[in-house]
Chains A and B, each alone.
Chain A
Amino acid sequence: MTHEPYDTLAATYAVGALDGQERADFERHLADGCDVCEAILRESAEALAALARSGPPMVPPPAVKEELMRRLAATTPARRGAARPRPLVWAVGTAAAVIAAAAFIGTYVAARYEAQLGVMARESAALRAKVEREMAVLREQTDVYANAADLLRDPQTQIVTLRGLGPSPEATGRVVWHPVKGGYVFVANLPAAPPGMAYEIWTIGDGAPRPAGLFQVDPSKRGAHRIDPVEGGKPVKVFAVTLETSTGVPTPQGPMVLASAK
């Protein structure tokens, strides 16, 4: 029997939507043992887990953990061996327990970092390659690109995608951002600013948008600009670019042409 229909059935099953006879048939097929379908289901579960992780973390009410720990203590009095050998990973766990006690969210960040290391590594690699390609094209901005490429080697560095908005839907951009060292913005497909105008980049954290520099694009519609770190290393939640008068403005007034998320 051909395998083909099972690809679709496996996907539908993975999101819990398979019903009726098809569900029964597919479960029988799984019970017979099918490596391909099992792999699809496994990869789907990982993809859906990654999806769950892609939103912001939410700290649950502390009462939930307290109650769980009470239940554990009540029902599992002495399962722990007194002199159980402790491998290295146990040391890691213990260290994490100390951190958890001190700062709940700190542990979370560590877990998240571990999980997303792969994502960042891959994106960094791709972007590093892109940055390196762009370096060749834009020799006059070698400094900026070289510094950005250096920054990419730092594991704390993030890469933020900018998307074109309203007046410039074709525009794209990247911010290479380090919370302490600051970063660089790179834009492409952004039309030259009209005479007397310039693009202004903004960092937006908890307060009002902070002006982070003015820049122009070259005839190939590309531009790059240094972004200074935010005082005190405060987190930046959104990066945005607006079109302003060429002397810049303290608060955004002109149209937003690029933003890190919408």
Chain B
Amino acid sequence: MATIGADLVRQMAAGDREAFAVFYDRYAPVVFPLILRIVRERADASDVLQEVFWEAWRDAPAYDAARGSPEAWMVTRARTRALDRIRATRRRGDTFVAPLDEGLAAPHESAPDAAERAADRGTVMSALDRLPDVQREVIELAYYAGLTQTEIAERLKQPLGTVKTRIRLALERLRAVVKTSA
């Protein structure tokens, strides 16, 4: 399915700076909160955002629409680069993990943001909200905090198999939510 987003990437691959500007305007507001959620400092998040979009420009010729949407392409890249950033700035074994009950909330969120999020959740129904707590927890730890299955098992004092099963069930659920809405 051709989307405007995929067309923009194609135009970027041809060196079209205007297409890049539009692409940025479309996807930066999606990936910026994710980056901020992971790195937590606005200045760091801005650096990572710039790096991520610079790479998108550079790698645009390699983008293959059959392998995923431009959005997934950007989100995957943003998450990876954000985790690279916290791993570079934090000592090993000292991985910062946001309180779990904070959920997806960004740090220092203002009241209007919270209200907007609430309204958004009401209308869009966050896929994460549909997960049982134990599944949501493993997604938080793996996806947002960058912990490995072994680290998660230690942290939760659960067998590795349990952690893996929860991740699988969580992702199946998330995928089902996306699939049924696609």
Contact = CB atoms under 8 A, between A and B. Distances in A.
Interface of A: 7-9, 11-12, 14-20, 40, 42-61, 63-65, 67-69, 71-73, 76, 79-81, 84, 89-90, 92-94, 96-97, 100, 104-105, 107-108, 110-112, 114-116, 118-119, 122-123, 158-162, 204, 206, 235-239, 260-262
Given A48-B75, A111-B25, 4 more contacts: A12-B149, A49-B69, A93-B11, A261-B120
Nearest to A104: B25
A97 B80 CA distance: 28
A100 B22 CA distance: 7
17 contacts: A8-B168, A17-B149, A18-B149, A43-B178, A45-B68, A46-B175, A47-B178, A50-B181, A60-B29, A60-B32, A60-B45, A72-B17, A76-B17, A96-B4, A119-B181, A260-B118, A260-B123
Contact of A11 (B19, B171, B180): B171
Contacts of A237: 115-116, 118-119
Contact of A17 (B18, B21, B79, B148): B148
Contacts of B157: none
Closest 7 interchain pairs by CB? A79-B15, A260-B122, A57-B29, A237-B119, A111-B26, A261-B118, A17-B142
Contacts of A115: 71
Contacts of B74: 49
Contacts of B31: 52
Contacts of A20: 150
| B: interface residue count bin | 35 or more
A159 B123 contact: yes
B18 A97 contact: yes
A90 B11 contact: yes
A69 B57 CA distance: 11
Given A55-B126, A93-B11, A97-B21, A238 B16 contact: no
Contacts of A60: 28-29, 32, 45-46, 49
Contact of B115 (A53, A90, A159, A238): A238
A150 B83 CA distance: 47
Nearest to B45: A60
B182 interface: yes
B51 to A, nearest CB: 10
Contacts of A68: 20, 24, 50, 53-54, 57
Contacts of B57: 68, 72
A161 B106 contact: no
A49 B28 contact: no
A61 B110 CA distance: 16
Contacts of A236: 119
Interface in B1-18: 2-5, 7-8, 11, 14-18
B3 A19 contact: no
Given A55-B117, A119-B181, A100 B29 contact: no
Contacts of B171: 11, 14-15, 40, 44, 47
